[in-house]
Amino acid sequence: MTTPAKPLAGLKVLELGTLIAGPFAARILAEFGAEVIKIESPDGGDPLRTWRKRYEGTSLWWYLQARNKKSVTVNLKHPDGVEVVRRLATEADIVVENFRPGVLEKLGLGWETLSALNPGLVMLRLSGFGQTGPMAQQPGFGAIGESMGGLRYVTGFPDRPPVKTGISIGDSIAALWGALGAMMALRHREVNGGQGQVVGVALYEAVFAMMESLVPEFDVVGFVRERTGNIMPGITPSNTHTTKDGRHITIGANGDAIFRRLMEAMGRDDLAADPTLADNAGRDARRDELYAAIDTWVAEQDEAEALDTLATAEVPASRIYSVADMFTDPQFLARDMLQTVKLPDGRDCRMPGVVPKLSTTPGGTEWIGPALGQHTDAVLEALGYTPAQIEALHQAGAI
């Protein structure tokens, strides 16, 4: 049976970025079939190659973040190197970049230059604060975006300083918005005359856009959402509880019928039948009482017993998964969310499966993050450079 082409097959993406936000956006496109050419400095390449846990000198994160991409080394301080990028951009559908605003312009690779060469080009620009405004030129990472965008302020417990999530969530959120925006711009190009455009994503704005009802609640009633620990403010019950064997489970029973089923499973028919608890507003008004009752019930059981009871009652609940839990979980395995790839020395390595799941043209891993400059010569040959010209570029230090 012939494997169907991935949905972005034929799309050409030029990645000018390092670390997380820009490369993650390009990774999403690569997972679904786009040809992503990642430009890296010949002097070490993307710093992510050495971040976090390494195997045989290379970051395991790199192998994931750069899967399905082609690595081309270019010296952007050399005019012939800049010319290589210009020529690649003339054939690209999308350029992804996450330099500080103004850097590409100084290199002669800004939007005005590249769009003049390729009017259909879509340029995805990710930065800390966007391309305009008084903070545009300031450096900004995901942690800053999370802080300025409001996420850190509401994360943690009220009697302690704000905390961060355990991943670079601000960068990842920006990458998702960026990939979505690039697809929107391509759709516009397809149906409205073939013109490209700039898709701008500021890290703080990407986080800010996820902040639910934060803005209208403040504007209309002056409510400032504060840190509330593990509960979901205004939505009850939804919390994390500790079992007799010291494990932690999350229970989400904020639906009216689900709440009744939870109370009945706990043996609290009195609360299940209480008319003042029939809707979310009534439950939230008695939040402390309800959470105390659930805490007591969960604390009397081991994790497995509590989860079994809740599953039988059709109450949404879950253990707090560690990565070790994921590796043996039937749901993860059934959904192919742990895919096995080969590292360069032949060792098996598990990586996350691709999201979202497309029924007919799914994404997938074709190869893991490449060696530095692995595709330089092949990509330049495809661009029209002769072997002699490529060798001359090597000798000149342009690639």
Give the separation between CA 314 and CA 86, rounded to whole angstroms.
Answer: 57
Pairing of strands 69-73, 94-97: unpaired
Q: What is the pLDDT of residues 229-285, one digit of tens each?
A: 998 888 999 999 999 999 999 999 999 999 999 999 999 999 999 999 999 999 999
Q: What is the pLDDT of residues 55-84, one digit of tens each?
A: 999 999 999 999 999 999 999 999 999 999
Domain with CATH 3.40.50.10540 in the chain: 12-210+337-396
pLDDT at 289: 97
Q: What is the pLDDT of residues 329-367, one digit of tens each?
A: 999 999 999 999 999 999 999 999 999 999 999 999 999
Domain with CATH 3.30.1540.10 in the chain: 238-319
Q: What percent of the chain has pLDDT over 90?
A: 96
What helix, strand, coil percent values describe the chain, rounded to 5?
Answer: 40, 15, 45
Q: What percent of the chain has pLDDT over 70?
A: 99
Contacts of residue 179, defined as CB under 8 A and 6 or more positions apart, other chains included, come to 25, 28, 29, 124
pLDDT band of residue 1 (cuts 50, 70, 90) is low
Q: What is the pLDDT of residues 168-177, one digit of tens each?
A: 999 999 999 9
User: Active-site residues: which are they?
Assistant: 171
Architecture of domain 238-319: 2-Layer Sandwich (3.30)
Res. 203: pLDDT tops 90: yes
Give the separation between CA 293 and CA 77, rounded to whole angstroms.
Answer: 65
- Can you tell me the mean pLDDT for 92-97? 98
Give the separation between CA 251 and CA 27, rounded to whole angstroms.
Answer: 33
Instruction: Look up the pTM and report it.
Output: 0.94
Give the separation between CA 129 and CA 144, rounded to whole angstroms.
Answer: 10
Which DSSP symbol is given to 15? E
Architecture of domain 12-210+337-396: 3-Layer(aba) Sandwich (3.40)
Q: What is the chain's Cα-based Rg?
A: 25
